[in-house]
């Protein structure tokens, strides 16, 4: 009796889970988020950058703290094909890779490029990777969301 | 001139900057900088086109546009992505379009400058020729006054003086024809451009027209030894001048004068003064010409009274011929008819009509009156009466002979 009762209960639970799993679901694949040219934006007094062309705005305060830098004149950012944001600036030792989420950017990777600080960094879209150029030294780096390649 | 040199230097400086930055394109490692450089060079070229002050500068800019197009062709996709919805091709096309407009603009300015230079040269040449003719006319007039005693020499001088005036008239007529051709059909845009360019003319065509009219007035007032034919020719020249002025005067003054209304009035007044000067001489000269041919007309002081004098003279002579019907009347008719047909119509006819002294209709009316005078002047023959009387006498004779025979 108890056995039948438990069996009925399991079947009902399985049915309920099956019905829930049949709700609306749509996934688009092979989305290309490539930003062809980097954005160069100046932070405001609150260290907020606003890229009007690609419509993104966020504070760089936490990044500056990571780099132990009080302020910077320009921040350079670019988005790769997968949709990750790559952010760096003059004087940074790293390039920061962020994954966009609902109302936030989650740090995916913090890639060290130098220990002396980048002189005049620039970010170039190169298809399967992002090219970081330090125009002050001529040094170039290849990076992806996973690290230096 | 300084402004032009400054423009030239600034354009050259811009082009050098562009050339220098274009040469760095290959060495550029930042896509962002490549885009920024393209934008800056594009903007500099646009400004250079706007500032360009000559077609030579525009030729240099055309070479820079070619260089820009060639240097950034390899970055077209990058540029297209960065400047969307604009494109690399559309930016180059815009530059070429602006450049073509500027070339066209400067070409028309340079053409206009050439026209002004040409006009200036023509005005100067015309003034020189006119001054030479005027000087010769004054000299001839002085010689005529000094040679009153020597009739043969006087006759030669008067002939030369007359020829000089005729040549001057032809010269002025050519000038007026040229003005008509140029300015009678002149679109507003060209007129505006010409007005701007004409500010550089020391003596413009309107000034020249005023000078010519002033000289005509002087000549008419001071003329010596001229006859009716000469004054009729002057009157024709005045009528032509007046016609040309009516057709292009307003346009000419608007193009060449800062105060077109006043300038137009000045020329109109000069034309009226010239007409008055001709009026002072022409009626007396015509009266003398008729009198010299034994035709005594009533006094006349204008075209209307001149025509009335002619018609009333013919009417009076016709009535006299009807009443008197003598050989003297026929001779009077023949004299008038000869002078009217040979001199008035033959030699003066064109000038009388063109100078607005007699119309074609008025001359036809006088011709009709002359026919009536002719009919009245021919003496009536008595031959028919004599033949009639002889016939009657013969008939009576025959009747009498028949009666006697019976």
Q: Which of B338 and A7 is assigned the larger pLDDT?
A: B338
Q: Which of B346 and B197 is assigned the larger pLDDT?
A: B346
Cβ pair A37:B33 closer than 8 A: no
pLDDT category of residue A96 using cuts at 50, 70 and 90: very high
pLDDT category of residue B26 using cuts at 50, 70 and 90: very low
pLDDT at B3: 47
Q: Chain B contact for A127, CB < 8 A?
A: no
Q: Which chain A residues are Cβ-neighbours of B29 within 8 angstroms?
A: 122, 124, 133, 135, 138, 140
Distance CA A133, CA B389 (A): 145
Tokens of B67: 């260089």
Residue A125 has pLDDT above 50, yes or no: yes
pLDDT at A12: 60
pLDDT at A18: 55
Q: Chain B contact for A124, CB < 8 A?
A: yes
Across A14-28, A83-97, B320-334, the highest mean pLDDT is recorded for A83-97
pLDDT one-digit tens code per residue, B359-374: 999 999 999 999 999 9
Is residue B122 assigned to a domain? no
Residue range of the domain that includes A101: 39-148
Q: Which chain A residues are Cβ-neighbours of B33 within 8 angstroms?
A: 122, 135
Is residue B2 assigned to a domain? no
Distance CA A97, CA A110 (A): 6
Q: Which of B257, B291, B325 is the last residue of a domain?
A: B291
Of A13-22, A42-51, A73-82, B300-309, least confident by mean pLDDT is A13-22
Is residue A61 assigned to a domain? yes
| Same domain flag for B152 and B287 | yes
| Same domain flag for B279 and B345 | no
Is residue A30 assigned to a domain? no
| Same domain flag for B80 and B30 | yes
Tokens of B382: 């008595």
pLDDT at B28: 46
> How far is the CA of B328 from the CAs of B317, B377, B379, in angstroms?
11, 9, 10
Minimum distance, in Å, between the CA of residue A123 and any CA atom of chain B: 7
Cβ pair B30:A125 closer than 8 A: no
Q: Do the Cβ atoms of B32 and A122 come closer than 8 Å?
A: yes
Distance CA B20, CA B67 (A): 11
Mean pLDDT of the B195-219 span: 76
Q: Which chain B residues are Cβ-neighbours of A138 within 8 angstroms?
A: 29
> How far is Cα of residue A73 from the mean position of the Cα atoms in its chain?
21
| Same domain flag for B155 and B283 | yes
pLDDT category of residue B7 using cuts at 50, 70 and 90: low
Q: Is A129 helix (H, G, I), strand (E, B) or coil?
A: coil
| Same domain flag for B285 and B313 | no
Is residue A25 assigned to a domain? no
Is residue B246 assigned to a domain? yes
Across A76-80, B137-141, B281-285, the highest mean pLDDT is recorded for A76-80
| Same domain flag for B223 and B358 | no
Distance CA B19, CA B71 (A): 10
pLDDT at B1: 42
Q: Is B257 helix (H, G, I), strand (E, B) or coil?
A: coil
pLDDT one-digit tens code per residue, B292-306: 999 999 999 999 999
pLDDT one-digit tens code per residue, A25-51: 899 999 999 999 999 999 999 999 999
Distance CA B47, CA B43 (A): 6
Mean pLDDT of the B138-155 span: 74
| Same domain flag for B159 and B204 | yes
Mutate to test the interface with B, among A37, A89, A90, A137 (most CBs of B within 10 A): A37
Minimum distance, in Å, between the CA of residue A100 and any CA atom of chain B: 22
Among residues B285, B288, B282, the alpha carbon closest in space to that of B302 is found at B282
Q: What's chain A's average pLDDT? A: 89
Cβ pair B31:A76 closer than 8 A: no
Which CATH number do you get for residue B85?
Answer: 1.20.58.1250
What percent of chain B clears pLDDT 90, i.e. is strictly above it?
37
Mutate to test the interface with A, among B27, B32, B78 (most CBs of A within 10 A): B32
Is residue B185 assigned to a domain? yes
> How far is Cα of residue B348 from the mean position of the Cα atoms in its chain?
22
Tokens of B313: 């003279």
DSSP string, B75-120: GHHHHHHHSTTS-HHHHHHHHHHHHHHHHHHHHHHHHHHHHHHHHH
Cis previous bond, A86, omega within 30: no
Is residue B107 assigned to a domain? no
Query: Closest residue of A to B35, CA-based?
Result: A37
Minimum distance, in Å, between the CA of residue A132 and any CA atom of chain B: 9
| Number of domains chain A is built from | 1
Cβ pair A37:B29 closer than 8 A: no
Of A32-36, B51-55, B145-149, least confident by mean pLDDT is B145-149
Residue B343 has pLDDT above 70, yes or no: yes
pLDDT category of residue A133 using cuts at 50, 70 and 90: very high
| Same domain flag for B246 and B221 | yes
Half-sphere exposure of B224 (CA within 13 A, CB side): 18
Of A134-138, B25-29, B39-43, B140-144, least confident by mean pLDDT is B25-29
Of B81-90, B150-159, B186-195, least confident by mean pLDDT is B186-195
| Same domain flag for B275 and B153 | yes
Q: Which of B259, B291, B323 is the last residue of a domain?
A: B291
DSSP string, B287-313: HHHHHHTT--PPP--SHHHHHHHHHHH
| Chain B residues whose C-beta sits inside 8 Å of any chain A C-beta | 29-33, 35, 78, 81-82
| Same domain flag for B219 and B152 | yes
pTM: 0.51
Query: Closest residue of B to A54, CA-based?
Result: B82
Of B8-17, B152-161, B193-202, least confident by mean pLDDT is B8-17
Q: What's chain B's average pLDDT? A: 83
pLDDT at B136: 82
Query: Closest residue of B to A136, CA-based?
Result: B29
Is residue A27 assigned to a domain? no
| Same domain flag for B375 and B325 | yes
| Number of domains chain B is built from | 3
| Same domain flag for B351 and B374 | yes
Mutate to test the interface with A, among B24, B33, B80, B84 (most CBs of A within 10 A): B33
Mean pLDDT of the B262-285 span: 92
What percent of chain B clears pLDDT 70, i.e. is strictly above it?
85
Mutate to test the interface with B, among A33, A35, A36, A42 (most CBs of B within 10 A): A36
Residue B275 has pLDDT above 70, yes or no: yes
Minimum distance, in Å, between the CA of residue B87 and any CA atom of chain A: 14
Which of A124, A138, A140 is the closest to B31 by Cβ? A124
Mean pLDDT of the B127-151 span: 77
pLDDT at B290: 94
Q: Is A139 helix (H, G, I), strand (E, B) or coil?
A: strand
Mean pLDDT of the A111-137 span: 95
Mean pLDDT of the B253-281 span: 88
Of B196-210, B300-314, B392-406, least confident by mean pLDDT is B196-210
Residue B2 has pLDDT above 50, yes or no: no
Query: Closest residue of A to B80, CA-based?
Result: A36
pLDDT at B100: 94
Q: Chain B contact for A23, CB < 8 A?
A: no
Residue range of the domain that includes B239: 147-291
Q: Chain B contact for A138, CB < 8 A?
A: yes
């Amino acid at each position: 009796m108890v056995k039948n009762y438990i069996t009925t209960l399991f079947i009902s639970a399985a049915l309920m889970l099956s019905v829930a799993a049949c709700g609306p679901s749509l996934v688009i694949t092979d989305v290309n988020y490539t930003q062809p040219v980097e954005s160069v934006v100046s932070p405001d007094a609150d260290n907020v950058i606003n890229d009007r062309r690609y419509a993104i705005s966020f504070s760089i305060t936490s990044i500056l703290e990571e780099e132990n830098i009080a302020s910077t004149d320009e921040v350079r950012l670019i988005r790769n094909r997968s949709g990750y944001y790559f952010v760096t600036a003059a004087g940074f030792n790293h390039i920061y890779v962020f994954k966009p989420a609902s109302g936030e950017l989650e740090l995916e990777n913090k890639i060290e490029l130098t220990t002396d600080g980048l002189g005049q960094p620039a970010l170039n879209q190169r298809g399967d990777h992002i090219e970081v150029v330090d125009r002050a030294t001529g040094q170039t780096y290849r990076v992806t969301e996973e690290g230096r390649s | 001139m300084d402004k032009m040199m400054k423009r030239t230097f600034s354009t050259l400086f811009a082009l050098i900057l562009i050339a220098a930055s274009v040469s760095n394109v290959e060495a550029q490692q930042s896509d962002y900088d490549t885009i920024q450089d393209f934008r800056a060079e594009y903007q500099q070229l646009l400004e250079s086109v706007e500032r360009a002050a000559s077609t030579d500068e525009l030729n240099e800019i055309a070479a820079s546009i070619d260089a820009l197009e060639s240097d950034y062709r390899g970055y077209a996709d990058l540029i297209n992505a960065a400047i969307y919805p604009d494109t690399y091709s559309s930016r180059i096309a815009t530059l070429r379009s602006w450049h073509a407009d500027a070339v066209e603009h400067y070409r028309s300015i340079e053409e206009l400058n050439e026209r002004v230079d040409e006009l200036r040269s023509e005005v100067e040449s015309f003034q020189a020729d006119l001054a030479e003719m005027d000087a010769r006319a004054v000299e001839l007039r002085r010689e005529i006054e000094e040679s009153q005693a020597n009739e043969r020499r006087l006759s030669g001088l008067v002939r030369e003086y007359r020829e000089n005036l005729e040549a001057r008239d032809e010269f002025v007529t050519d000038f007026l024809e040229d003005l008509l051709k140029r300015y009678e059909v002149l679109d507003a845009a060209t007129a505006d451009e010409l007005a701007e360019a004409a500010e550089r003319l020391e003596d413009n065509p309107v000034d020249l027209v005023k000078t010519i009219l002033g000289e005509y007035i002087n000549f008419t007032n001071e003329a010596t030894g001229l006859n009716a034919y000469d004054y009729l020719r002057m009157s024709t020249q005045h009528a032509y001048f007046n016609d040309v002025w009516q057709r292009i005067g307003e346009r000419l003054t608007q193009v060449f004068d800062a105060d077109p209304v006043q300038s137009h009035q000045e020329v109109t007044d000069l034309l009226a003064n010239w007409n008055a000067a001709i009026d002072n001489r022409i009626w007396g000269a015509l009266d003398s010409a008729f009198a010299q041919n034994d035709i005594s007309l009533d006094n006349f002081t204008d075209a209307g009274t001149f025509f009335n004098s002619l018609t009333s003279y013919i009417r009076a002579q016709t009535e006299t011929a009807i009443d008197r019907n003598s050989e003297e009347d026929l001779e009077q008719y023949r004299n008038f008819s000869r002078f009217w047909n040979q001199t008035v119509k033959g030699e003066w006819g064109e000038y009388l009509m063109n100078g607005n002294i007699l119309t074609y209709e008025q001359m036809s009316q006088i011709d009709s009156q002359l026919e009536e005078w002719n009919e009245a002047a021919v003496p009536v023959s008595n031959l028919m009466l004599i033949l009639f009387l002889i016939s009657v006498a013969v008939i009576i004779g025959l009747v009498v002979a028949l009666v006697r025979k019976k």
